[in-house]
Chains A and B, each alone.
Chain A
């Protein structure tokens, strides 16, 4: 896959960070729905509180629609006290299994990578 040449190292690092965040977003969304159903903005708030996934807010909606199309999420419109309906999402049983599997992979991956980069972090201090 040809990539456009990137002049500055900072831009490369930033691009790497973008890819990393984006890759984790799917797991973060599934995880945020583990305990109860939520609507889009609530999911965004969870992501803002519990993780560092700073994103253009709109990004979650296309992702949510794909996760639903893949059968990992269900959705329903609920008439709320706020005076307008909200679209709630919840995990399907397939979505729960996928979330558990992804969490396992993530834990292994971050543990082994964490050990590998530990010396670099001491250096940086």
Chain B
């Protein structure tokens, strides 16, 4: 019986490690995945009572490393959820994992962040312009040809030439949401690519 207890303990340890890696998912979804794995282990190693430590070890070994398994589960689900929700937060969260693993991931994360930020600024400027016409715009700073720098935004107008005037409203309303959609598609496309290159596959 001591053997069965030790086996049970191994299963619980394994599942706890999987559970720890499932942050970001709802409790219900995480619990369901853990139960599915438990059911798998029972089938593989023999039901509790008849399983031995050796049979449990073999089953867990075939299943894969718990942290990798959890990471893969989260990655697959974040893409699916992000595709439905349009949420920049989910996409950035998904990319964040890959940014830690590769330079390509880091590049995509930074690019997506800048894309979303610009989309937000353009949209905000377009919406704010009617209420504060003098304080919202696109300014060119510096007068000489070799000193060219642009400022887009709101607040105290800088000393420079305002370029767009009221055009910022239609332009902002087109560029802002357009950039948002482009950034989202780019982020999802990259996530799917990273997923296909995911290392967890052969054991």
Contact = CB atoms under 8 A, between A and B. Distances in A.
Contact of A56 (B39, B44, B63, B80): B63
A83 B48 CA distance: 10
A70 interface: yes
Nearest to B203: A56
A84 B62 CA distance: 21
Interface in B61-86: 62-64, 68-69, 72-73, 75-77, 79-81, 84
Contacts of B68: 58
Given A1-B193, A82-B47, A59 B200 contact: yes
B64 A66 contact: no
Interface in A27-66: 39-41, 54-59, 61-63, 65-66
Contact of B196 (A22, A69, A84): A22
A79 B80 CA distance: 28
A96 interface: no
Nearest to A61: B36
Interface residues of B, number: 37
Contacts of B140: none
Nearest to A60: B40
A98 interface: no
A30 B181 CA distance: 31
Interface of B: 32-33, 35-40, 42-44, 47, 62-64, 68-69, 72-73, 75-77, 79-81, 84, 102-104, 193, 196-198, 200-203
The 5 closest A-B pairs by CB, nearest first: A69-B80, A56-B64, A58-B64, A66-B76, A56-B203
Interface of A: 1-2, 18-19, 21-23, 39-41, 54-59, 61-63, 65-66, 69-70, 82-87
